[in-house]
Structure 1
């Protein structure tokens, strides 16, 4: 058990560096920099995202309520393996590197238990584990924005990162303009597509 927790801590520590900047490939462009998600994905509709997820037998959850004037502005999809980035903005921003709310959906393997997340959070600054709708959730109120120049220029060195583990997927939300309570409310209102949301679809 101790070895499993140590391994999980190492994995999540890596994710906290990788996920915020969405460096999703290790291949290099001819210029020598890391490939970003734009080079390996395409912009798609919500229906196409759902249909591709069905091919992989993956559940897609999105929020039914959002704070402020946020609207979904873009979805970027890579289907080998399945990774989706859903962008929300109150400014019409479609760039996942600088938008106010970004949700990355990707295979997460066997999800950690709540007690495992508690152990991880206890070893980190500004992090805590909670449980929402029986899902284990890890909140990092001061996650590194990583090395992307555009992200760091707009949001500084840190932002809020919330990771939810649902049915073998991790839903990682970067939300630099939101409070922790607002982010928790988003998680509470995640619903399974293509079911009808409890309120207006967003």
Structure 2
């Protein structure tokens, strides 16, 4: 092998080493950055603010949305607070009989976000024939998908409460994730969902 060829080989090896080292350094930095990302709760709360019901309705209408909210609640349950974030628009409506404002621990929480593409009526109705762990009920002009046991996304809530009932409802370009915690039951969830109506 000539001295010139040997020089080229050494340069090529050096370039490969430098590029590989840069790749692993970038990967490691990104991995470390990822490990410090806040959990779902902290990420949402760092951008959200509390609003009144009247302000929430006004904000939703400014985005051309009409809200659907419960018209009836299990005994003792009242509105605790509403967290609103934009943009993208995400809101969490919190209800509690104990005055709890943290939606991870409140008896009823409703997460609302835009979704212009709800599941088709055919697919939803098919769930009642094919699914063993969820079912569909009619609510007004559309349907709600009910799951008796769902693992919530927040790790702390999963650890304390485990799986619990949740419903998903679509109306007017919005998706509603409605979840309940003890002492509320699956029957309470259905009662709440069947009472959804346009907020005014």
TM-score range, shorter chain: 0.7 to 0.9
1:125, distance to aligned residue in structure 2 (A): 4.3
1:114, distance to aligned residue in structure 2 (A): 2.6
Q: 1:42 to 1:143 in 2, by over 3 A?
A: same
CA contact (8 A) 1:111 1:167 kept: no
Q: Which residue is 1:154 aligned to?
A: 160
CA contact (8 A) 1:129 1:137 kept: yes
Say yes or no: does 1:184 pair with 2:184: no
User: Whole-Å Cα distance in 1 between the matches of residues 78 and 68 of structure 2?
Assistant: 16
3-state SS, counterpart of residue 99 of structure 1: coil
The unaligned stretches of length 5 or more in structure 1 are 1-27, 195-202
CA contact (8 A) 1:52 1:79 kept: no
User: Whole-Å Cα distance in 2 between the matches of residues 154 and 70 of structure 1?
Assistant: 21
Q: Which residue is 1:44 aligned to?
A: 51
1:154, distance to aligned residue in structure 2 (A): 2.8
Higher helix share: 2
Using structure 1 for the length normalisation, give the TM-score. Answer: 0.74
> Whose relative contact order is higher, 1 or 2, with alpha carbons under 8 Å and at least 6 apart?
1
User: Whole-Å Cα distance in 2 between the matches of residues 96 and 88 of structure 1?
Assistant: 8
Listed one character per residue, the Cα deviations across residues 143-189 of structure 1 (whole Å, up to 9, x for unaligned) are: 1123422x123312x01011111111111101122222221221222
Matches within 5 A, 1:34-183: 34-35=39-40, 36-120=43-127, 124-149=131-156, 151-156=157-162, 158-177=163-182, 178-183=184-189
* Alignment root-mean-square deviation, CA: 2.1
Q: 1:106 to 1:32 in 2, by over 3 A?
A: closer
CA contact (8 A) 2:105 2:181 kept: no
1:193, distance to aligned residue in structure 2 (A): 1.8
User: Whole-Å Cα distance in 2 between the matches of residues 147 and 124 of structure 1?
Assistant: 25
1:34, distance to aligned residue in structure 2 (A): 3.5
Q: 1:57 to 1:67 in 2, by over 3 A?
A: same
Q: Which residue is 2:36 aligned to?
A: 31
